Amino acid sequence: MARIRPDNAQVDYTLACAHARDGKKKAAIEALQGAVKKGFTDAAAIETDPDFASLRGEEAFRKIVDGLRK
């Protein structure tokens, strides 16, 4: 999907969810950053998505959410 729609923020968001569920924190953060760079702006969705439970204590995760809230 990422090859077909490389500029689609939702693709990166979904990839971030998958990585987070698999315990791949670094890859999840990178994909989430990519989603934001491509236009994903829903901080509330990121904060409440159960897929990101493993990331909530990570500083990089908080930076992403806080950056969207500004």
Distance from chain centroid for Cα 36 = 7
Q: Confidence class of residue 66 from pLDDT cuts 50, 70 and 90?
A: very high
Among 47, 38, 52, 50, smallest CA distance to 65 is for: 47
- Report CA-CA distances (Å) from 16 to 39, 47, 59: 15, 13, 16
Among 2, 65, 5, smallest CA distance to 29 is for: 65
In the block, residue with structure tokens 């689609």: 8
Q: Confidence class of residue 1 from pLDDT cuts 50, 70 and 90?
A: low
pLDDT digits (tens, 9 = 90+) for 9-64: 999 999 999 999 999 999 999 999 999 999 999 999 999 999 999 999 999 999 99
In the block, residue with structure tokens 């990121």: 46
Query: Does the pLDDT at position 3 exceed 80?
Result: no
